[in-house]
Amino acid sequence: MPQVTHILDQDCLTRQTLELLSDKWKSLILHALCDGPLRYGQLKRIIPDITHKMLAQTLKNLEQDGLVQRTLFPTNPPTVEYNLTPLGQTLIPILSELCKWAEDNFQKVLAARNRQIFEGEYEQIT
């Protein structure tokens, strides 16, 4: 049985999971793949602000983590498709909840940031 550790401990599995999902590119790619397999070019069009290098590196990392499967089709030229593994699919409800939270609450975060900026400017004036 695995030893239960505290989230603040370096070896905690929860902490390692948070580190895994805290990368915005990983989360965006996982979200893009939630409706089914996509080719590299399709992913690049869906996430236009990701560089080719970062997309390739992130896909490789997701594959190594067992969250994404890369399938090579023997066509000319070769076709490669990326799809969520069963393990990767288990993250979709979590990512969906995070998206819902953002839609419901991020305006409040922006308002708090704006208050901090305004109060900081006001303090500098006085």
Question: SS in 3 state form for 82-93?
Answer: EEECHHHHCCHH
Residue listed under structure tokens 């975060």: 109
Distance CA 88, CA 76 (A): 29
In terms of pTM, does the model score above 0.85? no
- Torsion over CA of 28, 51, 78 and 30, rounded to 10 degrees? -10
pLDDT per residue of the chain (126 residues) written in tens, 0 to 9: 555 567 778 778 888 888 888 889 999 999 999 999 999 999 999 999 999 999 999 999 999 999 999 999 999 988 999 999 999 999 999 999 999 999 999 999 999 988 877 666 655 554
Question: Residue 5, SS3?
Answer: coil
